[in-house]
């Protein structure tokens, strides 16, 4: 064992020893004794169980979406039967121990922060807590929770009870078992969606005469030899043009590395020594096998579609029926036919076993949500017992209803048959192993770096393993405190004035309220609706000033004026400010022009000199919206969800009245795609008066906006960052443009020239406001503005743009940059300035976050969102579904899009003609922007013209 290994686990080991030793007479009242088991009576004690918002884990019954209280099961709920069982079981457990269970909502991913806040206040967050994935590991590694196997042993010694999660593994108890103990326990149900496996096109495999993987699995021969044989047989040039057009395997090879290593009984990181395992024979053999797969082109290598290290649109080849096997998830079996029209015989397989496999593990799995007992809670062994009893609710009737192949069951929604379902559960029950390297995040970059090197032919397997190995081992050593931590040194800047340029009236608002016209701070007004937030900002700014011994001086910079002001100051031989906040494309121009520092470089320098790890680089608590281009981070914004992304405001009453599909139901079913979108537009575009004129439309709004979202929603690009070539002739983009042309050509969107040119938007949205359009392109605030300004009284909600048939990324819209902060080139001590920014952003504490962003009638969120579910969809768009495209950022797309729409509106061009007509002019714009035009060549041309 490496020196120092025991330090981070000392608290856990001591706690375990103390628990086993503390078998003193039991202090609680004995309630009853049944079959030799002593049941304690806890005298009506309240047991506080913290769960994620909306009771996501669902082992106690339904919770109120905003209050910490249970509610009754809704008979209309599809899970009504299960919810009844949960409620009845919770009541049984309360009666059994004479307790009252009190639920406490914790937002997803917030357990660690909440635990620490409570501890600082001298309190315990709860008795039991449920949370997700890496939070469990952090809690165990930090000594916040108790080892459950030790508690189970103590429960047996004191009460004679054998806890099911230790003694009965008839289905599956997904837990965190590491460092020799069990730390968390989840629902005893099969893993429904293993992290990865292989979706198989059995028809294609049969057509190419390759071995059937299902038959090999049944014979115990699903191994690398069979896997190789299938890839060899199905990688083909079927057209005879010299190019491979069918592959044996597609998908994310970065994911495949880990599974091959585990499937050969190798380790990415040994949990006993904390040494990387990549140089072990088992791991090296797995890497050599992957290199063989890549070197023989058994996996797609088409650079126009995807770099195999990243996945990209690689899975599309499977969806198009051009790949025998696709790395992915069981849900692909459902999604491929729905989204891509793949009608074939599909099934799901585990990863194949390597030649060294004796363990039966084939894949590396992540943790599911699970439950933990907090260190410091009273009677922890009884709490472990309570958890065990609460998990007794999945009776066989519910289990069989949900997990057998039945048309009313969950299982049949994506599994083709019972045998496929049984294989799926076999993977979840017996074939997944959690590797410590994956859990702490040591592997991702390592894997992708190696694959990139092999893809480019730059290194052998051994060279790639060695090139990044020490850097990854240093990461591990740092993580577990094996390298002696350095003391963080906060500089004393001696009362220096730090000048921060912000927009007029302090629009960004991370410093506190500013005077409307003068460069000075003012006190928060108690009558202001944001008074609580402003107080936090002011207090935090004063804290930062004291921390660094500085004075912060605000400077008003009008919106969009940063570049002009910076250049004016530079001409005068001055620096505009030390730090500046500004909007959108100004950030990109500043980065491209060399006016600002690369913040990730400053953060690395700061860590080297002062040992400070900045939050914006390490803590993605909500989201850090930044400009990340050309390999660096250039600006940083407030860590809050995007409040106003582009999307579609929906009139649910009108959609229901016309009998169209409900978009919310489609979204929740994973079917919010172009087919559903089209179906709604067809059903709601109507002549309701019979006068021959359409008076209700499926969609209204700015089609110039819609173009971009359709392209991104189909995994297309306006401008490829790596090549700086426009993407409009790519198949994904052309398909999106053809779909928009279909929308316009069928008049599903209004085309009344007296009201609006669709390319411009105009008063187009008024048709939505008048209740004559089912869907309106726009922003969430339209939900508030329509009833206020236009008298629309109807059931409205907000949706993302639908996904196209090529979508594998999850992106649905083009996300513009929000206001963000930059450190100016030439400012003194730029590393310290970044540290100051990082501290200034710490005003957004959880108390304010919850006040603003949970669905409450006094909150910002409820001002325009009709319900909690709409709010969650809104944040999902802002957090996960928006992608910033380089073409949008440099302004190459606006005129191009509107010109094409004008041409189609007037019937002057086809899609292909319109794309081609303006494409070279837009590519010239890009080339000139990035300096790709040869100046000397241009001068020669001018001389020729003059002659």
| CA neighbor of 357 nearest in space, from 263, 281, 285, 452 | 263
Q: What is the pLDDT of residue 848?
A: 55
Please check the confidence at residue 803 and state whether its pLDDT lies above 80. yes
Per mean pLDDT, which of 517-526, 549-558, 599-608, 634-643 is the most reliable?
549-558
Q: What is the pLDDT of residue 774?
A: 93
| CA neighbor of 284 nearest in space, from 264, 269, 298 | 264
Task: Provide mean pLDDT across the span 75-81.
Answer: 76
Task: Provide mean pLDDT across the span 813-827.
Answer: 83
Please check the confidence at residue 4 and state whether its pLDDT lies above 50. no
pLDDT digits (tens, 9 = 90+) for 347-395: 989 999 999 999 989 888 766 778 889 999 999 999 999 988 888 765 5
CA 327 to chain centre: 19
Q: What is the pLDDT of residue 108?
A: 62
pLDDT digits (tens, 9 = 90+) for 608-640: 888 887 877 655 444 455 677 666 788 887 766
d(CA 812, CA 708): 9
| CA neighbor of 873 nearest in space, from 679, 667, 625, 711 | 667
3-state secondary structure at position 677: helix
Q: For residues 11 and 729, which has the higher predicted lDDT (pLDDT)? A: 729
| CA neighbor of 137 nearest in space, from 145, 129, 125, 148 | 145
Cβ atoms within 10 A of the Cβ of 457, count?
9
3-state secondary structure at position 20: helix
Element (H, E) at 396: helix 396-403
Task: Provide mean pLDDT across the span 579-604.
Answer: 84
Percent of all residues in the chain with a pLDDT value above 70, rounded to a whole number: 78
Q: What is the pLDDT of residue 575?
A: 95
Q: What is the pLDDT of residue 402?
A: 63
Residue with tokens 């039966």, as numbered in its chain: 360
d(CA 522, CA 509): 12
3-state secondary structure at position 841: helix
pLDDT digits (tens, 9 = 90+) for 565-575: 899 999 999 99
d(CA 188, CA 740): 48
Averaged pLDDT of the chain: 79
Q: What is the pLDDT of residue 506?
A: 46
pLDDT band for position 833 (cuts 50, 70, 90)? very high
Task: Provide mean pLDDT across the span 25-35.
Answer: 49
Please check the confidence at residue 256 and state whether its pLDDT lies above 70. yes
Q: What is the pLDDT of residue 18?
A: 37
Please check the confidence at residue 846 and state whether its pLDDT lies above 70. no
Residues 629/591, Cβ–Cβ less than 8 Å: yes
- Among 441-445, 536-540, 597-601, 636-640, the least confident range: 636-640
pLDDT digits (tens, 9 = 90+) for 709-768: 999 999 999 998 778 899 999 999 999 999 999 999 888 987 544 444 443 333 445 678
d(CA 867, CA 877): 16
pLDDT band for position 658 (cuts 50, 70, 90)? very high
CA 885 to chain centre: 18
Please check the confidence at residue 344 and state whether its pLDDT lies above 70. yes
Task: Provide mean pLDDT across the span 828-841.
Answer: 93
Please check the confidence at residue 26 and state whether its pLDDT lies above 50. no
Per mean pLDDT, which of 56-70, 292-306, 649-663 is the most reliable?
649-663
State in Å, rounded, how far the first CA of the chain is from the last one: 81
Radius of gyration of the chain (CA): 30
3-state secondary structure at position 248: strand
Where does residue 120 rank: exposed (0-12), middle (13-18), buried (19+ CB within 10 A)? exposed
Total residues found in the chain within this entry: 947
3-state secondary structure at position 813: strand
Q: What is the pLDDT of residue 755?
A: 42
Residues 719/712, Cβ–Cβ less than 8 Å: no
| CA neighbor of 641 nearest in space, from 444, 931, 875, 854 | 875
d(CA 426, CA 693): 59
d(CA 348, CA 415): 8
- Tokens found for residue 520: 């000075």
Task: Provide mean pLDDT across the span 870-882.
Answer: 76
pLDDT band for position 307 (cuts 50, 70, 90)? very low
Residues 30/40, Cβ–Cβ less than 8 Å: yes
Q: What angle do CA 832, 837, 839 make, to 5 degrees?
A: 95
Residues 747/706, Cβ–Cβ less than 8 Å: no
């Amino acid at each position: 064992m490496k020196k120092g290994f025991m330090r981070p686990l000392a608290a856990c080991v001591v706690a375990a020893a103390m628990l086993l030793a503390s078998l003193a007479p039991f202090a609680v009242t004995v309630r009853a004794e049944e079959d030799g088991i002593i049941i304690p009576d806890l005298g009506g004690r309240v047991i506080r169980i913290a769960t994620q918002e909306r009771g996501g884990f669902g082992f106690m019954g339904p919770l109120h979406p905003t209050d910490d209280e249970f509610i009754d099961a809704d008979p209309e709920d599809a899970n009504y039967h299960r919810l009844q069982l949960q409620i009845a079981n919770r009541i049984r457990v309360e009666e059994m121990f004479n307790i009252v269970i009190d639920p406490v909502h914790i937002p997803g991913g917030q357990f660690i922060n909440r635990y620490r806040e409570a501890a600082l206040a001298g309190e315990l967050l709860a008795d039991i807590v449920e949370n997700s994935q890496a939070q469990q590991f952090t809690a165990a590694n930090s000594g916040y929770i108790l080892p459950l196997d030790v508690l189970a042993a103590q429960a047996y010694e004191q009460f004679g009870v054998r806890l099911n999660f230790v003694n009965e593994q008839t289905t599956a108890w997904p837990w965190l078992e590491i460092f020799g103990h069990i730390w968390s326990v989840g629902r005893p149900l099969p893993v429904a969606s293993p992290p990865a496996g292989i979706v198989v096109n059995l028809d294609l495999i049969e057509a190419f005469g390759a071995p059937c993987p299902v038959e090999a699995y049944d014979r115990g021969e699903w191994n690398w030899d069979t896997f190789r044989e299938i890839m060899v047989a199905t990688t083909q040039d079927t057209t005879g043009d010299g190019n491979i057009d069918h592959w044996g395997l597609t998908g994310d090879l970065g994911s495949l590395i880990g599974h091959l290593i585990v499937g050969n009984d190798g380790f990415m990181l040994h949990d006993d020594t904390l040494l990387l395992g990549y140089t072990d024979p088992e791991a090296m053999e797995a890497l050599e096998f992957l290199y063989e797969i890549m070197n023989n082109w058994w996996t797609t290598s088409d650079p126009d579609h995807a770099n195999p290290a990243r996945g990209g649109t690689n899975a599309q080849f499977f969806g198009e029926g051009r790949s025998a096997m696709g790395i992915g998830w069981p849900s692909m079996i459902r999604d491929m036919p729905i989204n891509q029209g793949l009608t074939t015989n599909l099934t799901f397989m585990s990863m194949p076993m390597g030649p060294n496999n004796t363990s039966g593990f084939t894949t590396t799995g992540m943790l599911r949500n699970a439950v933990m007992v907090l260190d410091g809670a009273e009677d922890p062994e009884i709490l472990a017992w309570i958890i065990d009893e609460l998990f007794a609710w999945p009776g066989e009737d519910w289990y069989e209803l949900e997990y057998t192949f039945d048309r009313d069951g969950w299982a049949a929604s994506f599994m083709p048959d019972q045998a496929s379902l049984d294989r799926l559960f076999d993977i979840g029950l017996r074939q997944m192993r959690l590797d410590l390297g994956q859990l702490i995040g040591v592997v991702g970059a390592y894997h992708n770096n190696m694959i990139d090197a092999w893809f480019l032919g730059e290194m052998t397997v051994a060279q790639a393993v060695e090139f990044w190995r020490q850097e990854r081992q240093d990461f591990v050593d740092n993580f577990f405190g094996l390298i002696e931590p350095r003391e963080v040194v906060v500089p004393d800047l001696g009362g220096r004035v730090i000048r921060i340029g912000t927009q007029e009236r302090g629009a960004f608002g991370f410093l506190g309220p500013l005077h409307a016209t003068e460069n000075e701070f003012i006190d928060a007004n108690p009558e202001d609706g944001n008074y609580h937030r402003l107080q936090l900002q002011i207090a935090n700014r004063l804290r930062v000033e004291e921390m660094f011994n500085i004075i912060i001086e605000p400077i008003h910079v009008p919106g969009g004026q940063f570049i002009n002001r910076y250049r004016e100051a530079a001409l005068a031989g001055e620096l505009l400010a030390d730090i500046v906040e500004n909007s959108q494309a100004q950030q990109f121009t500043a980065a491209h022009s060399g006016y600002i520092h690369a913040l990730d470089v400053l953060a690395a320098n700061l860590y080297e000199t002062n040992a400070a790890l900045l939050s914006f680089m390490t803590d993605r608590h909500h989201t850090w919206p930044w400009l990340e281009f050309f390999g660096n981070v250039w600006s940083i914004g407030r860590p809050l969800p995007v409040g106003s992304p582009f999307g579609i405001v929906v009139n649910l009453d009108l959609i229901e009245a016309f009998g169209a599909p409900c978009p919310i139901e489609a979204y929740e079913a994973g079917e919010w795609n172009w087919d559903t979108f089209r179906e709604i537009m067809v059903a709601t575009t109507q002549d309701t008066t019979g006068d021959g004129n359409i008076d209700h439309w499926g969609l209204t709004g700015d089609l110039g906006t819609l173009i971009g979202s359709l392209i991104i929603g189909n995994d297309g690009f306006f401008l490829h960052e790596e090549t700086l070539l426009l993407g409009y002739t790519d198949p994904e983009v052309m398909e999106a443009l053809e779909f928009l042309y279909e929308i316009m050509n069928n008049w599903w969107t209004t085309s009344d020239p007296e009201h609006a040119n669709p390319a411009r938007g105009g008063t187009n949205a008024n048709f939505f406001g008048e209740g004559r359009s089912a869907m309106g392109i726009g922003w969430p605030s339209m939900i508030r503005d329509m009833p206020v300004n236009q008298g629309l009284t109807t059931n409205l909600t907000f949706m993302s743009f639908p996904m196209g048939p090529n979508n594998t990324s999850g992106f649905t819209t083009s996300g513009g940059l929000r206001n963000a902060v930059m450190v100016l080139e030439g400012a003194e001590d730029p590393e310290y300035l970044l540290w100051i920014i990082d501290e200034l952003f710490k005003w957004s504490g959880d108390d304010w976050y919850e006040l603003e962003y949970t669905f409450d009638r006094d909150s910002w969120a409820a001002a325009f969102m009709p319900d909690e579910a709409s709010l969650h969809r809104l944040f999902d768009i802002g957090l996960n579904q928006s992608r910033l495209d380089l073409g949008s950022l440099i302004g190459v797309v606006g005129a191009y899009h509107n010109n094409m729409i004008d041409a189609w509106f007037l019937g002057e061009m086809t899609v292909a003609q319109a794309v081609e007509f303006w494409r070279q002019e837009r590519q010239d714009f890009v080339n000139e922007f990035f300096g790709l035009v040869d100046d000397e060549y241009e001068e020669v041309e001018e001389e020729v013209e003059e002659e």
